[in-house]
Structure 1
Amino acid sequence: MDRLATGPETQDASGLLSPRMRGIRTSQIGLVADRGRDDPDVVKLWIGEGDLPTPPFIVEAAHRAMLAGHTRYATSLGLPRLREALGAYHARHWGVDIPPDRFAVTAGGMNAVMQAAQALLEPGDEIVIPSPAWPNMGEAVRITGGVPVPVPYRVDTQGRFSLPLADIEAALTERTRVIVVNSPSNPTGWIMPQDEMVALRDLVRARGLWILSDEVYAHFTYDRPIAPSFLQICTEHDRLIVTNTFSKNWAMTGWRAGWLIYPKGLARTFEKLGQYNTTSIPTFVQHAAVAALDEGDGFIRTMVERCAEARAILIEGLSQLPGASIAPPEGAFYLMARLVEEEASLALALRLLDQAKVGVAPGTAFGPEGEGFVRLCYAISPGLAREAVRRITGLLGR
Structure 2
Amino acid sequence: MAQAPIARPAVQSLRRSLIREVANAGMGRADVLAFWFGESDQPTPAFIRDAAGRALAEGRTFYTHNLGRPDLRAALSTYLGGLHGAPIGVERLAITSSGVSALMLAAQAVVEPGDKVAVVTPVWPNVAEIPRILGAQITPVSLEPRNGRWGLDLDRLLAALTPDTRALFLNSPNNPTGWMLAAEDRQAILDHCRRLGIWIMADDVYERLSFSGSGSAPSFLPLADPQDRLISTNSFSKAWRMTGWRLGWMVAPAELNEALGVLLEYNTSCAPDFVQEGALAALTQGEPSVAALRAELAAARDQVLTGLRAIPGIEAPEPDGGLYAFFRLAGHDDSLALAKALVAEAGLGLAPGAAFGDEGEGWLRWCFAARPEKNAAGLERLARYLARR
Per the normalisation by structure 2, the TM-score is 0.96
| Sequence identity (%) | 42
**Which residue is equivalent to 1:190?**
179
**Which residue is equivalent to 1:337?**
327
Deviation (angstroms), 1:343: 3.4
The unaligned stretches of length 5 or more in structure 2 are none
Write the letter of the residue equivalent to 1:184.
P
Pairs aligned (count): 386
**2:338 corresponds to 1:348:** yes
The unaligned stretches of length 5 or more in structure 1 are 1-8
Equivalent residues of 2:177, 2:319 under 8 A apart:
yes
- In angstroms, what is the RMSD of aligned CA positions? 1.5
Mapped to 1, the partners of 2:158 and 2:210 lie a distance apart of: 27
Mapped to 2, the partners of 1:301 and 1:40 lie a distance apart of: 32
**Which residue is equivalent to 1:38?**
28
Q: 2:370 aligns with which of 350, 368, 380?
A: 380
2:366 partner SS: strand
**Which residue is equivalent to 1:263?**
253
**Which residue is equivalent to 1:131?**
121
Matches within 5 A, 1:150-299: 150-156=140-146, 158-225=147-214, 226-299=216-289
Mapped to 1, the partners of 2:102 and 2:212 lie a distance apart of: 28
**Which residue is equivalent to 1:90?**
80
Per the normalisation by structure 1, the TM-score is 0.94
Write the letter of the residue equivalent to 2:303.
I
Equivalent residues of 1:306, 1:382 under 8 A apart:
no
**2:89 corresponds to 1:99:** yes
Mapped to 1, the partners of 2:81 and 2:6 lie a distance apart of: 49
Mapped to 2, the partners of 1:98 and 1:272 lie a distance apart of: 21
Deviates more, 1:351-360 or 1:27-36: 351-360
1:343 partner SS: coil
Q: 2:15 aligns with which of 22, 25, 37?
A: 25
**Which residue is equivalent to 1:4?**
none
Deviates more, 1:270-279 or 1:58-67: 58-67
Q: Could you give the per-residue CA deviations for residues 21-53 of structure 1, whole angstroms, max 9, x where no partner exists?
A: 222221110110000011121111111111110
Equivalent residues of 2:162, 2:196 under 8 A apart:
no
Q: Could you give the per-residue CA deviations for residues 349-381 of structure 1, whole angstroms, max 9, x where no partner exists?
A: 112111111100011100011111100001111
Equivalent residues of 2:332, 2:338 under 8 A apart:
no
Mapped to 1, the partners of 2:42 and 2:56 lie a distance apart of: 23
